[in-house]
Structure 1
Amino acid sequence: MRNIFLIFFGGGLGSVLRYLLSFNAQKLWKINNFPIGTLLVNIIGCFAIGFLTSYLVKFDNGLKFLLITGICGGFTTFSAFSIENYSLWENQQFLMLTIYIGLSILLGIIAVFIGIKFSNIL
Structure 2
Amino acid sequence: MSEPPRPPVGHVLRATPVSALVAVSAGGAIGALGRYGLTRAFPSDPSEFDLATFTANAAGGLLIGVLMVVVTEVAPGGRLVRPFLGVGVLGGFTTFSTYIVDIGRAANAGDTALAVAYAFATMAVALLTAAAGMYGTRRVLLRSNRGEGAR
| TM-score band w.r.t. shorter chain | 0.5 to 0.7
Unpaired stretches in structure 2, ≥5 consecutive residues: 1-17, 97-122, 132-151
Letter in 1 for 2:28: G
State the alpha-carbon separation in 2 of the partners of residues 41 and 77 from structure 1. Answer: 7
SS at match of 1:26: coil
Partner of 1:67: 85
Report the CA distance between 1:26 and its aligned residue.
Answer: 3.4
Please say if 1:16 is aligned against 2:36: no
Task: Show the 5 A alignment for 1:1-122.
Answer: 1-26=18-43, 33-57=48-72, 58-59=75-76, 60-78=78-96
Report the CA distance between 1:22 and its aligned residue.
Answer: 2.8
Indicate if the aligned counterparts of 1:22 and 1:40 stay in contact, CA closer than 8 A: no
Q: Which has the higher helix share?
A: 1
- 1:62-102 CA-to-partner distances (Å, cap 9, x unmatched) read 11110001001111144xx867xx89xxxxxxxxxxxxxxx
Indicate if the aligned counterparts of 2:53 and 2:95 stay in contact, CA closer than 8 A: no
Indicate if the aligned counterparts of 1:22 and 1:41 stay in contact, CA closer than 8 A: no
State the alpha-carbon separation in 2 of the partners of residues 16 and 26 from structure 1. Answer: 15
State the alpha-carbon separation in 2 of the partners of residues 13 and 56 from structure 1. Answer: 20
Report the CA distance between 1:54 and its aligned residue.
Answer: 0.8
Letter in 2 for 1:50: G
* Runs of 4 or more consecutive aligned structure 1 residues displaced over 3 Å after TM superposition: none
State the alpha-carbon separation in 1 of the partners of residues 68 and 87 from structure 2. Answer: 10
For normalisation by structure 1, the TM-score amounts to 0.56
Say which one has the larger Rg: 2
SS at match of 1:61: coil
